[in-house]
Chains A and B, each alone.
Chain A
Amino acid sequence: MVDFSNQPTMKGFFAPTRFEADVYDCEVVGKIPADLNGVFVRLGGDWLYPPKFEDDSPFSMDGYINMFRFKNGVVDYKGRWVKTPRFKADRAAKKQLFGKYRNPFTDDPSVAGLDRSVQNTTPLAFAGKLFTLKEDSLPYEIDCNTLETIGPYNFHGKYKSLTFTAHPKVDPVTGEMICYGYEAEGLETNDVFLYTINKKGEVTRELRFKVPYVAMVHDIAITQKHVIIPIFGFVSSMERLKEGKVHWGWDDTKPAMVAIVPRDGEAKDIRWFKGPSRATVHTLNARDEGNKVIFEAPIYDSNPFPFFPPIDGSAWDSTKARAYIRRQTFNMNSKDDGFTEEKLFEMNVSDLGRVDDRYMTQPYRYAFTAYADKQRPFEEWKAGNLGGRVNNCYGRFDLATGKMNSYFAGSTHSVAEVCFIPRKNGGEGEGYIMGVANNYAEMRSELIIADAQRLEEGDVARVILPFRATAQVHGRWVDENELPFA
């Protein structure tokens, strides 16, 4: 029998939910904009069974995909587990069979050789198909209407890496997807396979190269000419896996390295740049300016994740786990491997930032992300004393002026990653922001919709779920015509 009672953090709002759900014609406060037709699809995780190890990473949670379907001013909700072989094995055994994050040596022997991926990171709509992404395996195809799991997908057998990033980039100019897998030839290999896939879903280009050390390669950015690939101090080895540790540990001696890869080049054309220790987990955007590559991202000072602890045994330092929007400039004519860095805003923010995707690879002005505003009220007697520890605002950061506009979610709320939805035929930043908020007083989740140009005015509409939605990592807006919706 399942028992979560000895899980000290799975309480209150954060207790596992474990159910699948359909809510037709959700309760809405305000009015759904008539031009919003499509789905807001979210991917994250929940624990079907408690983790085998108390110190495992939350990134081991079972994948759960859910979507808010917008059609003619009405919103329906649907949530389903991503039914991977791992999920099915656990459910059949009625217990957790899998061990620590990306460490098969900690699994129950009965599941040796089984695909141990949990699909819990990013949803992707591309070439008419819906996928879930997790960087340790191939994408899983999902039925966009039922959200039932179809299975792993390898782009007609032409995608050869064993893994697929959670952060492919779709070039808005060409419609191509730039994607990659790292540890591409298996656990602890230093191979990266970089792919271009056209808008029909056909692999048109593959480039294989090696990274200087086995490291997390979580996200990239693209320009019209280059792919920017940051690696940083999350390191791994077969030895640490055999010692029963989680896949990643933090090595503060590793420099942050950035590969600049020509989109039409070969492995010999790659330039590696080095900088001070940083953690660039997620990116915003990049562009070419003459002989320079300009790259912007919310970049941490150091290790953001205490569950991937320092390998030297030191304590995790929360004061360095802060992300700031920074610009890094790479001179492609330079003879050395250095680059310059600027901090564009002095406030720390969530590193789950987004831009108007129509401007990817191009000059752009606005970035959106969540942040914690400690000056805003937090009614702890209703919500519990999480004040100042949770993101309660979305910001629009103007990279041209340095100004920030703010949306406040509420005095008993925290917010998940923001998503920007452009208004058809509108200019950059014209449209809506969308994201799910936890309401700790009402024990429920609420989908926020606000005008991206009038954040201070608050909600345009708010969709009320009568329960807690599962925790989200990433969410994406998928327009009505991108997938074969019923």
Chain B
Amino acid sequence: MLTRRDFIAELAFAGAAMAPIAMLPEGILAPGQMGARAAVVSIHMEQPYIDATGRALPYLPPDGLCAGAPVAHLSETEFRRRFVYL
């Protein structure tokens, strides 16, 4: 299975080969300033999905995925103040 991390790593390595594709901060590749027909790439559940027509809207994954992340930064005291029996 191609993971997102592997894909991004390969993407960086590929460099110029992927030049027509622009990448948004969220990790979504979308048609940008490169031209109206650039591929649209979205990533969901570790898998990249590529729309070669360039006509698709990029897919934004729901906030809930990676759903523990919003509280992972909490100190142990703050974490246990809210999550007693986790």
User: Which residue numbers of A lie inside 8 Å of B, CB to CB?
Assistant: 8-9, 11-14, 55, 58-59, 304-307, 315-316, 318, 321, 350, 352, 380-386, 389-391, 414, 416-417, 438, 440-443, 471-473
Contact = CB atoms under 8 A, between A and B. Distances in A.
B81 A391 contact: no
Contact of A58 (B46, B68, B77, B82): B82
Interface in B39-77: 46, 62-72, 74, 76-77
B4 to A, nearest CB: 7
A381 B85 contact: no
A13 to B, nearest CB: 4
B72 A318 contact: no
A46 to B, nearest CB: 13
B5 to A, nearest CB: 7
Contact of B77 (A306, A382, A383, A389): A306
Given A9-B78, A318-B80, A381-B5, A390 B86 contact: yes
Given A14-B71, A414-B86, A416-B85, A383 B66 contact: yes
B86 A12 contact: no
B84 interface: yes
B7 interface: no
B85 A350 contact: yes
Closest 4 CB pairs of A and B: A384-B68, A384-B69, A443-B64, A11-B70
A384 B68 CA distance: 4
Given A14-B71, A384-B72, A440 B66 contact: yes
B66 A14 contact: no
B69 A12 contact: yes
B72 A385 contact: yes
Contact of A14 (B4, B76, B82): B82
A359 to B, nearest CB: 24
A441 B67 contact: yes
B7 to A, nearest CB: 12
B71 A383 contact: no
A417 B85 CA distance: 8
Contact of A443 (B67, B71, B74, B85): B67
Given A9-B74, A318-B77, A14 B64 contact: no
Contacts of A352: 85
A306 B71 contact: no
Interface of B: 4-5, 46, 62-72, 74, 76-86
Contacts of A389: 76, 79, 86
Contacts of B68: 12-13, 383-386, 390, 440
B77 A12 contact: no
Contacts of B4: 381
A305 B66 CA distance: 27
B80 A306 contact: yes
Select the residue from B66, B72, B81, B85 with max chain A CB neighbours within 10 A.
B85
B85 to A, nearest CB: 6
Given A384-B70, A384-B72, A390-B86, A12 B80 contact: no
Contacts of A13: 64, 67-68
A318 B46 CA distance: 35
B14 to A, nearest CB: 21
B49 to A, nearest CB: 17
B64 A305 contact: no
Contacts of B5: 381
Contacts of A440: 66-68
Contacts of A381: 4-5, 66
A451 to B, nearest CB: 24
A133 B26 CA distance: 45
A414 B72 CA distance: 14
B80 A386 contact: no
Contacts of B63: 12
11 contacts: A12-B66, A12-B67, A58-B82, A304-B84, A306-B77, A318-B76, A384-B71, A386-B71, A386-B86, A443-B62, A443-B67
Contacts of A14: 70-71, 82-83
A60 to B, nearest CB: 12
A50 B71 CA distance: 17
Contacts of B46: 382
A178 to B, nearest CB: 24
A58 B72 CA distance: 18
A381 B63 CA distance: 13
A12 B61 CA distance: 13
B35 to A, nearest CB: 32
Contacts of B84: 58-59, 304-305
Given A306-B80, A321-B80, A383 B67 contact: yes
Given A12-B71, A384-B70, A441 B65 contact: yes
B66 A382 contact: yes
A13 B84 CA distance: 15
